[in-house]
Every structure is written in C-alpha cells, then in structure tokens.
Amino acid sequence: MTQHEIDKLNKRFGAKVRIGFRLDSCGFPVAALVCKYGSAEISLYGAQVMTYRPVGHGPVLFLSKKSEFAEGKPIRGGIPICWPWFGKSKTDSSLPSHGFARTSLWQVVSSSYSDEVVELTLGLVDTPESKAIFPYAFAAQLRITVSQSLKLQLTTRNAGIAPMSLTEAFHPYFRVMRATNIAIQDLDGAKVDDRVTGEQSIQQGEVRITGETDRIYFPKQAHAAIADASLNRTIDIVFNGTKSLVVWNPWIEKSQQMPDFGDDEYTQMVCVEPANTDLTPLTLKPGDRHTLEMTIQAKLN
C-alpha cells in the first residue's frame, strides 16, 4: 500500500485523535483506534489486532519480538484470524496452517467513533486466488470495537450457490507475566480433547500451564478467565458463535522450532481461542451468515 492510499483512508475513515491509518516500518498498513477507555492497533494485513491497551493496564496482548512482518507470513502474536480453516486444511495439508485470512490484505469497510466507543469494520471477499484453494464465493467482515472492552465480531456470509463448509478461530495471544503462574478459570467440568496426548477427559478445576498445551475444551458457559497472579490481573473472555475454546502454549521444544518466536517467549503468553474446529465445523447454506464473537476485558484483582 502506498502513502497516497493511506492518505485516502485517513480522509474517508479517519477521525482526529480517534482513528488514524499509517504505514508501519515494514510497510503494512495499520489502523490505530483510541477512545477514552483504551486503544488498539490493527494491521490491515491479516485484519490482525496487534496491540490492545486499556487505560490503567499494561499490554493485554503478546506480540513476539521475532515476528517476521513479511508478506506471505503470518504475524506472530496479537489476535490472528484463523479462517476459513483452523489448523490444517482438510482438503490439502500442504496449504498454509490456519487459512489465508491472516495473510490477506483486508479492505476498510466503515468506521465510527465517539469518546466512549470506536469501531472499525474490515472486509475480505473471494478472489481467483482464494477460489483456487477454497472454492467458494464469500464475504467476510471483521468488526473491531474498542470501548471498556475489546470486541471482535467475525461474520461469514456464503455469497455463492453451493453450501460452504469452514472452520475458524480467533487466536488471541494473551500477555501474561509467567505462564506457569496463571490459572485459566471457568473450564471446570468441560470436556477436553488433548491434541498433544490424543486423550479425552473432563477438566477438573482450573487449567494450569505445565508443559506443551494444545487442547480443545467444550466449556459449559460461554466465558473463561485468565487469572494472572503475578500481574494481579484477570482477563475475561466472553464468546459467542462457538462452543469450543482452544488453549495453546508451545512450551520449550516447539518454541525452539518456530523461527518467528523467541525460545523463551512461551513463558510470556497463552492462547485461549474461541474456535469452530474440525470437531465442530460450520456449514453455511447459500446466503446464510454466521458470526463468531469474542469480548476481552482486563480487570485488576
């Protein structure tokens, strides 16, 4: 994107102090949203929230110091949008993990603001390139709202004439002081599908991170919370449009294998991801829509 296009975005969708667009140092267009309760920065490449900072708090999201910020590569951290598949593609395992939304340039659809609420809506539609790997006509929109919380709403519309199946997730990387010192709450009694051990079980009590973690939970309620004893902070996560949450921490070996992630960074993050995975895929009839929603709120204990 050129500076001229950024100027046009600012003219059409910008608002002094509240909404601004810029090219960041690696050339990605970034939107900054600011209201009296907090601020967020969103890369239009991937429609990826990179930072979220409520007033009175430190950063809520983790962004890897080794993230590559290169075209064709996902940004490591913030809130990647996994869409239209989560994990490996069911039809072709050589396709990029977690779909192409996080490596696509999204268009700005609309913006609105007041002192209390700032919103930005981004859109992605099918192209000949997308059709070659995901043979559907679609319109996806992500609405990002910064107010007393950060809310994301991802709406998928089947714009074609055949039923469309997909999987998806919000993949937030939450910043924690020490992953081994957090408790993920509200998952007590949830069914668990453990992708590391292959075992299925029922969660007893709080979830603690003590090793490589890659699990799908089916919580009884549509919320979870990350209690961070070291930061004296709890992050509430409320979701809609799915019944499952993925909890991921790569731990030591996986971190060392990821070129865009620091060897020790697994200690500073945890992903708690509202997701429609391959265990619960979606099918949309022509014209149908589905919305996945997540609200994040940080509270001091």
Contact set with ligand BG6 (CB under 6 A):
74, 87, 97-98, 171, 214, 246, 248, 273
Q: Which of 171, 265, 290, 293 is catalytic?
A: 171
Tell me the three state secondary structure of residue 92.
coil
E strand map for 219-286: 223-228, 233-240, 244-249, 269-276, 282-284
Distance CA 169, CA 224 (A): 15
Which residue's C-beta sits nearest to ligand BG6?
97
253 is catalytic: no
Name the minimum Å distance from CB 171 to ligand BG6: 5
Quote the DSSP letter at residue 114: -
Q: Which of 41, 168, 265, 273 is catalytic?
A: 273
Q: Answer whether 292's CB lies under 8 Å from 240's CB.
A: yes
Kindly tell me which of 121 and 255 has the beta carbon lying closer to ligand BG6. Answer: 255
Name the minimum Å distance from CB 264 to ligand BG6: 17
Kindly tell me which of 20 and 77 has the beta carbon lying closer to ligand BG6. Answer: 77
Kindly tell me which of 146 and 182 has the beta carbon lying closer to ligand BG6. Answer: 182
Query: Residue 8 burial by CB count (10 A; 0-12/13-18/19+): exposed, middle or buried?
Result: middle
Kindly tell me which of 41 and 214 has the beta carbon lying closer to ligand BG6. Answer: 214
Q: Answer whether 63's CB lies under 8 Å from 36's CB.
A: no
273 is catalytic: yes
- The helix (H) or strand (E) run that includes residue 293 is strand 289-300
Name the minimum Å distance from CB 280 to ligand BG6: 14
Name the minimum Å distance from CB 114 to ligand BG6: 35
The residues that are catalytic are 171, 273
